Structure 1
Amino acid sequence: MNSMTPLADLTPADRHRAIATVFTENVALVHDWELPTPVEGWVVRDIVAHLVNWFTDFLSAGGQKLPPGPDIQSDPAAAWQAHVEGVQALLDEATDESEFSHPMVGTHRLADAIDQFYTSDVFMHTWDLATALGRAPNLDPAFATQLLDGMAGIEELLRSSGQYGPAVAVAADADPVTSLAGFIGRDPYWPGNSLPGS
């Protein structure tokens, strides 16, 4: 993920745009939606379905509705495109006064809620999708470091939530993207991944 401005320095709207663009580039390269992925039990369609479904439900619980899109099972690429455009529109139209109140996570600025709970998830699942396609993930190592540092401080909470499996050990000198993948329970040397973390 190459950008003139580091991801961490972007606004939530621009950070989502940059991260989602890389994910979308990988979606466009999918020819077999049944390809296995580094997420146990998931095929590539499941990655898209996960991002679309959980975040649509998350927003809905806080009173924000995304426009309905195509069926994920029959046209995952079109479903993703509609979803990403809907999320980007929310971010582009959000102001400092735009609040989002969710029964589980409390009240945040809308842009901050999307940034904190969703955009980072797209970033991490880009690794899954690219790896499933046999591609280098091309993720920003500085942003990977930022995410890893933040998650390491609440590791016990994350593991107990069931959102992440046990960490996979990586070399002490592993690059930040490889380290992040290992932390969230992915095998950086998953079959077919000849360029772990690059």
Structure 2
Amino acid sequence: MNLLPMMKDAAERTSALVRSIRDDELTLPTPCSEYDVKGVLAHLEWVASMFESAGRGEEPPAQGEYSGDFPERAQRMIAAWERPEAWEGVSPGMGLPKPVLAHMCLTDLVVHGWDLARATGRPYEAPEDAVAELLPFARQMAPMGRERGAFGPEVEVPAEAPAFDRLLGLIGRDPAWKP
């Protein structure tokens, strides 16, 4: 499956959401328990820069402070992945195949978009094609994700729950979380 259109869509959705966040919302708690809204934004900025570097075959940057430029970083990240060679080989910084990194990128964009929407009371509709692609990926990556601290402990979600709720539960988010 070609992930690039899903990455573009998720980056655009999350960028639109980020642009709508007001300064007075930066300290709100999020479903990502270690971060408030500002922390999720700073993390997303780093994620965009990190996956831009991965798409270019470069070492990842260190995580920095919040700067308010996620939409611009997301555009640069997508531009890096629009190059065919971005999908080839293994990342020098993370040692993972590039398609795995693209899945990780998509996961971050979709889930942290939901985190921000939940925290700020905005609507968020996860793209169905992305969720369908990410659910089996998350099942496969969950043990390593938990080991590396990227995923929290699994939250029990009914088997008949919507796919996005199951994805959230699998990576450690409570789909019913409210501020």
Q: What's 1:91 paired with?
A: 81
For 1:115 and 1:29, locate their aligned partners in 2 and report how far apart those are by CA, in whole Å.
Answer: 26
For 2:100 and 2:144, locate their aligned partners in 1 and report how far apart those are by CA, in whole Å.
Answer: 19
For 1:189 and 1:182, locate their aligned partners in 2 and report how far apart those are by CA, in whole Å.
Answer: 10
Contact 2:7–2:78 (Cα < 8 Å) also in 1: yes
Between the aligned residues of both structures, percent identity stands at: 25
Q: What's 2:118 paired with?
A: 131
For 1:169 and 1:113, locate their aligned partners in 2 and report how far apart those are by CA, in whole Å.
Answer: 25
Q: Please give the residue correspondences for 1:24-173 in structure 2 after superposition, counting only pairs within 5 Å.
A: 24-31=15-22, 32-57=25-50, 59=53, 62-63=57-58, 73=66, 75-76=67-68, 79-92=69-82, 94-96=83-85, 99=88, 101-106=91-96, 108=98, 112=99, 115-173=102-160
Greater shift after overlay, 31-40 or 136-145? 136-145
Q: Deviations over 1:62-92 (max 9, x none)?
A: 42689xxxx953x52xx11220121122123
Q: What's 1:188 paired with?
A: 175
Structure 1 residue runs of 5 or longer lacking an equivalent are 1-8, 193-198
**How far has the Cα of 1:106 moved from its partner?**
4.6
Contact 1:62–1:102 (Cα < 8 Å) also in 2: yes
For 2:129 and 2:3, locate their aligned partners in 1 and report how far apart those are by CA, in whole Å.
Answer: 16
1:53 counterpart SS class: helix
Aligned residues: 172
Q: Say if 1:18 and 1:184 are closer, same or farther in 2 by CA, change over 3 A.
A: same
For 1:141 and 1:91, locate their aligned partners in 2 and report how far apart those are by CA, in whole Å.
Answer: 21
Structure 1 runs of 4+ with >4 Å offset: 96-100
Q: Say if 1:173 and 1:53 are closer, same or farther in 2 by CA, change over 3 A.
A: same
Contact 2:47–2:108 (Cα < 8 Å) also in 1: no
For 2:164 and 2:71, locate their aligned partners in 1 and report how far apart those are by CA, in whole Å.
Answer: 25
Alignment partner for residue 8 of structure 2, among 8, 13, 17?
17
State the AA in 2 paired with 1:25.
A
**C-alpha root-mean-square deviation of aligned residues, in Å?**
2.9
Structure 2 residue runs of 5 or longer lacking an equivalent are none
* Structure with more strand by fraction: 1
Q: Say if 1:13 and 1:126 are closer, same or farther in 2 by CA, change over 3 A.
A: same
Q: Deviations over 1:150-171 (max 9, x none)?
A: 2213432222222111111122
Q: Deviations over 1:24-54 (max 9, x none)?
A: 1211221121111111131112112112224
Q: Say if 1:102 and 1:41 are closer, same or farther in 2 by CA, change over 3 A.
A: same
State the AA in 2 paired with 1:48.
L
Alignment partner for residue 175 of structure 1, among 147, 162, 168?
162
Contact 1:145–1:180 (Cα < 8 Å) also in 2: no
